[in-house]
Structure 1
Amino acid sequence: MKDKNKRKLWIKIVLCAFIIIILVVGVTFSYTYYQFSKVNTTIISKSDGDLGIIIEAPLKIHKNSRVKLEVPMQKEEVNEIINIALFGIDRRGVNEPSRSDSIMILSIDKKHKKIKMSSIMRDTYVEIKNHGGTKINHAYAYGGAQLAIRTINENFNLDIRDYVMVDFFKLEKIIDTIGGVTIQVNQDEIELLNSYMIEVANIEKREVCEVTKSGLQTLNGLQAVAYSRIRYTVGGDFRRTERQRIVLSAMITKIQSLGITEFPSVVSKILPYTETSMKSMDIIKLGTKVLTSNITTLEQARFPLDGYCKGKIMDEVWYLIADMDATADQLHNFIYEDIKPVPKASQF
């Protein structure tokens, strides 16, 4: 009789524990889902035509692009590699029309087990639908993310369907949310880094914690954003895009280190600071897939490459003129074929 009562007691204890676990998981999931519901999702067209995507097309030159489609994309390439456009906007107000100060392509390469980041120089001279030839960063101001994506796809023969956009004020909050990023700061960057921080601090009327030494260190959000904006050192805007990739790489590394259990809750806090065309659950699925697929290699490149571009002043405006055929081929090879681009010493 006592054994029977003990068994009943244990059954009750197990049932109670199970119910508590279900409630905790349910509350956690509900909170996470609630946080994800606050994501600023913007609907854009997903049709190939509207986004300038040509898949399994015959050999021809696209009417809005100077790129020869000699190697059209195949469906298997699209399934193995996911490309997402990343736009950094330097704006002061939410509704302020802005050019994309930073343009990157984040490629999740399941085939080669890599994450790749490709920066496109913002002054690159390209064709923009209904606007003719101008700087690539103007596309975002002319027609938002959809036109910016179309411009990248048409000029470089890519298949981007989604984007994430963040302005520099919100990027600061994202970096603070993940606990800062580890960056190697050089001596010639310190003064400019601090001056950018002071500029922002004066706008927001707050104190700053200045960087006082060079070397590997953890930067907070304000410091990291200021670092990514540095332009007037050796390398100019080319070096600036490299700094942006360094910050993004550090962020990805930090998020990857969280593990699959912490990922949803941390990302749910980050996403409200962004604007994206992706649905909340798609973001969770994609992130979980990356975390569970043992993708640990991060590679980065900048386009156009040295030796395949040159500066030119037209109508008193400085443009970066690129060998578009070569650049499209190099970008395509880097993303889809896993071939690292190689700059050349001779001038274009």
Structure 2
Amino acid sequence: MTNITRVKKRDSKKKRFSIIMFFFPLIIICALFMYGYLQYKGAFENSIKDSVLDRTEIEFTPVKSKDDKYNVLLLGIDARDEEKSRTDTIMIAQYNEQTKSTKIISIMRDSYVDIPDYGYNKINAAHAYGGVETLRKTLKVNFDLDVHYFAMVDFKSFSKVVDVAFPEGIEINVEKAMSKGINSTLTAGTHNLSGDQLLDYVRFRQDEESDFGRVRRQQEVLKVLSDEFSEINNVVKLPKVLGTITPHIKTNMKSSLLFSIGQSMLFEKGNDIESMRIPLEGTYTDERYEHAGLVLRIDLDENKKAIQSFLNE
């Protein structure tokens, strides 16, 4: 074999090696993309069978954000009831696109407020009266709070996502025995709770704390889940989690923004979610009205100032 032939063979091997090395990363990326797509598709198809959210369009007139902060109205719905029911959970999540941080405001559902066109009642009656749009107007009238997006979440998604992401459960210190008004029997102590048990934990309200304890536990579990999700492999888990929860969410957010907010809340390591409860301690009294029952008569001015300070600081 001549030297020229040897050189040509070496050059040919080098060229083949270079071509392989060039395409190898693309092959890996394509394989990961296909794996993620199949995980998402399988989870979506499995989850959509249980979704009972009405897919008709929801009336909602959003306000455009003037900066990089987006206020999202989060509504927890028990979809066994009609969607235009009293909302079990009312939260405002503010996502800061620049800092990739999230703040959460939980509004007590018994807060006595002025519902436009309907008069004073509990804030969770606003959704029953006129849907998401009436609740948006109620937040603006009482708290000068602009809402840019909404996300209605079926509670089924909560327990399903927990079971998908954490098959062994989430470790929670249950402060007391809980069974009344929920489907599980929870004993005091530290336990790994399944999705259904965790949902019962955050919905329990049959004690002296009533709705205040329920809101406190909701915010506690959000932070625990944020910490837990930041520890798991994003690439492996995220497509399956998104596929599981998507059929149980009704929103006007674009998929890209929904993805960014979800990733910020659940997958950003070290992301400390700031939270606030409305009404603030010392800014409300218990009152009873014939048309509304037992309500929280709140100092609107004090709570409005607190919200603006919390979101704009």
TM range, smaller chain: 0.7 to 0.9
Matches within 5 A, 1:236-251: 236-251=210-225
**Deviation (angstroms), 1:229:** 1.4
CA gap of 1:178–1:319, structure 2 versus 1, over 3 A, is same
Whether the 8 Å contact between 1:312 and 1:320 is mirrored in structure 2 is yes
Gaps of 5+ in 1: 56-74, 199-209, 338-348
Gaps of 5+ in 2: 1-7
Whether the 8 Å contact between 2:280 and 2:303 is mirrored in structure 1 is yes
The corresponding residue for 2:228 is: 254
Distance 2:305 2:229 in 1: 31
The corresponding residue for 1:335 is: 311
Is 1:88 paired with 2:95? no
Distance 2:285 2:93 in 1: 25
The corresponding residue for 1:66 is: none
SS state at 1:191 partner? coil
**Deviation (angstroms), 1:136:** 0.5
CA gap of 1:14–1:134, structure 2 versus 1, over 3 A, is same
Instruction: State the percentage of identical aligned residues.
Output: 31
CA gap of 1:30–1:280, structure 2 versus 1, over 3 A, is same
Is 1:181 paired with 2:155? no
Distance 1:291 1:97 in 2: 29
The corresponding residue for 1:10 is: 17
**Deviation (angstroms), 1:25:** 4.3
The corresponding residue for 2:28 is: 21
SS state at 1:281 partner? helix
Distance 1:288 1:300 in 2: 18
Distance 1:143 1:230 in 2: 27
Distance 2:69 2:40 in 1: 27
SS state at 1:233 partner? coil
Distance 1:283 1:230 in 2: 28
Matching residue within 144, 164, 173 for 2:151:
164
Whether the 8 Å contact between 2:75 and 2:151 is mirrored in structure 1 is yes
Distance 1:292 1:244 in 2: 18
**Deviation (angstroms), 1:212:** 4.1
**Deviation (angstroms), 1:146:** 2.6
| Cα deviation 1:70-119 (Å, max 9, x = unaligned) | xxxxx7xx4243221111123424x4532111111112246777432211
SS state at 1:105 partner? strand
SS state at 1:100 partner? coil
Is 1:306 paired with 2:281? yes
Whether the 8 Å contact between 1:174 and 1:270 is mirrored in structure 2 is yes
CA gap of 1:318–1:286, structure 2 versus 1, over 3 A, is closer
**Deviation (angstroms), 1:296:** 1.6
Is 1:146 paired with 2:133? yes
Aligned residues: 295
Whether the 8 Å contact between 1:121 and 1:238 is mirrored in structure 2 is yes
Whether the 8 Å contact between 1:177 and 1:270 is mirrored in structure 2 is no
Matching residue within 217, 221, 225 for 2:195:
221
Distance 1:17 1:123 in 2: 59
The corresponding residue for 1:69 is: none
